Chain A
């Protein structure tokens, strides 16, 4: 039995689908009471997929969810954008509860075999790298947690907890770190492209490459690495082969998905703007939020190269070409836009 947390989410549901397609092992989906299961409804019953209602912040729900499970795919996390407390609860505290439930099971003589943890590119300490440096699995993790954004801070702590639990409990650990996951049903534009307000976007990404991972490619990679005999103990970045720049992504997005108004901001201006906003935040004692910071500039807009050699060494090949993935994504955004604009 495989347990998938975050199984009704954008990436989680794709992972469930891939798991159901690729093996005969039953899959248990943990879904919050009241949350929609529309993304996985067609899989339930027909292909050994079951939905269990519960939350990771409930001890009993956690214990029930992990019972009889050999492998956990842990994708549940707060996605950022809200209050830090919510992100932290959904990401760190929830993970701690899950790990404690696994430990109680181990102490009862039923240890877990493997834990596949969905981390993120956000954990890398990119702010300390020179512009243009390549980000791979050897890149040091972020150490400046005070400056890190809420999501990165929470994902860092979450990964620490998982690694500590693996060492203490003895289960096999596979850590995957997806880049920018996109596709139909996904969220909005990555901040690496720019800051969007309504139908307007400040385009700060310029010619920087985006560490894109089309959702189905990402799910396929996650299942491949998660089930790979050599996956134990590995940390693997997940991103596609043919990456494009933020500028190209936004150009196609505006043409094929939504007619956003965009203002391109050169890097020196972005850097100066970040410094100014940060300075004013402190000088005015918080009258305006530090919505753009120097740390954010270095992590999001300074520009890096990315490497997926380790992923490919495990046998992964990009199934959905980037061009096709983008076309599917933009078409879904355009369709949603038409639906919401119909009176």
Chain B
């Protein structure tokens, strides 16, 4: 089988991960890269030995005829670039978020169906090892019926991406409807949405700011703490927390079920089943600590084995998702993330951004609860601007 021809559009930070991973994949040739600032495409091409350098996607598509186009540009350009690539016959991987809003996401999904091209989005943790292990626990019935899910996503405003966002009031993140949250909400929400499959989710969101005002422009008003409550009419509920202040910068999901609960930690790469009290008297409170130590030791050994066998990459989930996407192209099988789920994610986020915008006239997406007011939520909204 001949190698699939891949191209990258948008040569910023995240493009490095794509180029490096593609370089290690069998059956894939990275043939071209493109950035409207040609110098940016040039640096990526030099470092990863990419033969084709372009500053125009149409020219790239015409000259290179890629099988796959990786769109790693800011979300504001995803719709146009995605439609262009699919119209030219390319399958498309788009970095999260899929698009700026639900209607744009729906348009991309419709184009994928119309052109019979594969489309996916960079939900890098969807197939990450902790997510797979947790999913297996749930499938095996160890957790029982899911009652509630907690998702936590810590964000470092002083990290490489946060620094870029705060370096300029003109950074594209400030133009997104959900701003800082919008660029990360996929990672926060997709871990709970798989357990809340209804189209009629109740969504209640609140946000506020903790970072200090130091810029004298709109960066000072950037909200950096988000709380979202979701409820599925069928039963499960979820609470999603995005925090830029809490340390350490956690990244985990906890599933509470009728038989037990388990936590998948994406930073530590562990899955821990909560130990309960099973014996009477104080012995019942003494022994679980030992069982936790044993579980931690088994996890350490498992992770060590994975490391030794070369299955412990930093972005293992990203690599797995990339491999699954390319497999779906080769075999004609379904995409690793259902297209309908991509649309649902965008619709839920629309609802959240509407609520945060605090626009009383905003209408909720079909099937979702109307925006909640601060009073209904019992907490301050973005207008509560104190540093806290």
Check A85 against B24 for contact (C-beta < 8 Å): no
Check B169 against A85 for contact (C-beta < 8 Å): no
- In the assembled complex, the Cα of A82 lies from the Cα of B163 at a distance in Å of 10
Check B169 against A93 for contact (C-beta < 8 Å): no
- In the assembled complex, the Cα of A166 lies from the Cα of B307 at a distance in Å of 52
Check B43 against A83 for contact (C-beta < 8 Å): no
Q: Which residues of B contact A283 (CB under 8 A)?
A: 310
> What are 21 of the A-B contact pairs (CB < 8 Å)?
A32-B167, A33-B169, A33-B215, A33-B217, A83-B13, A84-B43, A85-B15, A86-B160, A86-B164, A88-B43, A89-B40, A93-B39, A96-B39, A146-B47, A153-B46, A154-B43, A157-B39, A285-B313, A286-B313, A287-B307, A287-B310
For residue B316, which residue of chain A has the nearest CB? Answer: A287
- Choose among B15, B47, B163, B167 the residue that contacts A153 (Cβ–Cβ < 8 A): B47
- In the assembled complex, the Cα of A286 lies from the Cα of B315 at a distance in Å of 10
- In the assembled complex, the Cα of A33 lies from the Cα of B168 at a distance in Å of 8
- In the assembled complex, the Cα of A32 lies from the Cα of B160 at a distance in Å of 18
Per-residue contact bits, chain A 33-73, to B (CB 8 Å; 1 contact, 0 not): 11000000000000000000001001000000000000000
Check A85 against B12 for contact (C-beta < 8 Å): yes
- Choose among A85, A145, A146 the residue that contacts B40 (Cβ–Cβ < 8 A): A85
Chain A interface (Cβ < 8 Å from any Cβ of B): 32-34, 55, 58, 82-86, 88-89, 92-93, 96, 145-146, 153-154, 157, 283-287
B215 CB, nearest partner CB in chain A, Å: 4
Question: Which residues 165-201 of B have a CB within 8 angstroms of A?
Answer: 167-170
A1 CB, nearest partner CB in chain B, Å: 26
Known A-B contacts A146-B47, A284-B310; A85 and B11 likewise in contact (beta carbons under 8 Å): yes
Check A157 against B219 for contact (C-beta < 8 Å): no
Check A84 against B310 for contact (C-beta < 8 Å): no
Check B160 against A84 for contact (C-beta < 8 Å): no
Check B39 against A55 for contact (C-beta < 8 Å): no
B270 CB, nearest partner CB in chain A, Å: 18
Q: Which residues of A contact B11 (CB under 8 A)?
A: 85
- In the assembled complex, the Cα of A85 lies from the Cα of B17 at a distance in Å of 12
Per-residue contact bits, chain B 34-47, to A (CB 8 Å; 1 contact, 0 not): 00010110110011
- Choose among B16, B37, B215, B313 the residue that contacts A93 (Cβ–Cβ < 8 A): B37
B225 CB, nearest partner CB in chain A, Å: 21
- In the assembled complex, the Cα of A62 lies from the Cα of B40 at a distance in Å of 19
B380 at the interface (CB under 8 A from A): no
Check A153 against B214 for contact (C-beta < 8 Å): no
Q: Give 3 closest A-B pairs by Cβ, nearest first.
A: A285-B24, A83-B13, A34-B215
Check A146 against B307 for contact (C-beta < 8 Å): no
B25 CB, nearest partner CB in chain A, Å: 9
Q: A34-B216, A86-B160 are in contact. List 5 more A-B contacts (CB 8 A).
A: A34-B167, A84-B43, A88-B43, A153-B47, A286-B21
Check B39 against A88 for contact (C-beta < 8 Å): yes
- In the assembled complex, the Cα of A334 lies from the Cα of B170 at a distance in Å of 38
- Choose among A55, A84, A96, A145 the residue that contacts B16 (Cβ–Cβ < 8 A): A84
Q: Which residues of A contact B43 (CB under 8 A)?
A: 84-85, 88, 92, 153-154, 157
For residue B25, which residue of chain A has the nearest CB? Answer: A285
- Choose among B24, B160, B168, B216 the residue that contacts A82 (Cβ–Cβ < 8 A): B160
B58 at the interface (CB under 8 A from A): no
Q: Which of B11, B47, B169 gathers the greatest number of chain A CB atoms within 10 Å?
A: B47
Q: Which residues of A contact B164 (CB under 8 A)?
A: 86
B167 CB, nearest partner CB in chain A, Å: 7
- In the assembled complex, the Cα of A32 lies from the Cα of B310 at a distance in Å of 44
B80 at the interface (CB under 8 A from A): no
Per-residue contact bits, chain B 267-279, to A (CB 8 Å; 1 contact, 0 not): 0000000000000
- In the assembled complex, the Cα of A145 lies from the Cα of B43 at a distance in Å of 10
Check A34 against B219 for contact (C-beta < 8 Å): yes
For residue A92, which residue of chain B has the nearest CB? Answer: B39
B20 at the interface (CB under 8 A from A): yes
Check B20 against A286 for contact (C-beta < 8 Å): yes
A79 CB, nearest partner CB in chain B, Å: 12
A9 CB, nearest partner CB in chain B, Å: 14
B235 CB, nearest partner CB in chain A, Å: 41
- In the assembled complex, the Cα of A321 lies from the Cα of B282 at a distance in Å of 70
Q: Which residues of A contact B314 (CB under 8 A)?
A: 287
Q: Which residues of A contact B24 (CB under 8 A)?
A: 285-286
- In the assembled complex, the Cα of A92 lies from the Cα of B21 at a distance in Å of 25
Known A-B contacts A287-B307, A287-B312; A84 and B47 likewise in contact (beta carbons under 8 Å): yes
Q: Which residues of B contact A157 (CB under 8 A)?
A: 39, 42-43
A256 CB, nearest partner CB in chain B, Å: 29
Check B47 against A34 for contact (C-beta < 8 Å): no
- Choose among B46, B160, B170 the residue that contacts A83 (Cβ–Cβ < 8 A): B160
Check A146 against B13 for contact (C-beta < 8 Å): no
- In the assembled complex, the Cα of A88 lies from the Cα of B217 at a distance in Å of 26
- In the assembled complex, the Cα of A253 lies from the Cα of B78 at a distance in Å of 50
For residue B312, which residue of chain A has the nearest CB? Answer: A287
A164 CB, nearest partner CB in chain B, Å: 13
- In the assembled complex, the Cα of A83 lies from the Cα of B15 at a distance in Å of 11
B327 at the interface (CB under 8 A from A): no
- In the assembled complex, the Cα of A285 lies from the Cα of B22 at a distance in Å of 10
- In the assembled complex, the Cα of A82 lies from the Cα of B42 at a distance in Å of 18
- In the assembled complex, the Cα of A157 lies from the Cα of B38 at a distance in Å of 13
B261 CB, nearest partner CB in chain A, Å: 31
B49 at the interface (CB under 8 A from A): yes
B37 CB, nearest partner CB in chain A, Å: 6
- In the assembled complex, the Cα of A32 lies from the Cα of B166 at a distance in Å of 12
For residue B20, which residue of chain A has the nearest CB? Answer: A286
Q: Which residues of A contact B13 (CB under 8 A)?
A: 83-86
B211 CB, nearest partner CB in chain A, Å: 13
Question: Which residues 286-325 of B have a CB within 8 angstroms of A?
Answer: 307, 310, 312-314
A10 CB, nearest partner CB in chain B, Å: 18
- In the assembled complex, the Cα of A136 lies from the Cα of B307 at a distance in Å of 45
Check B310 against A146 for contact (C-beta < 8 Å): no
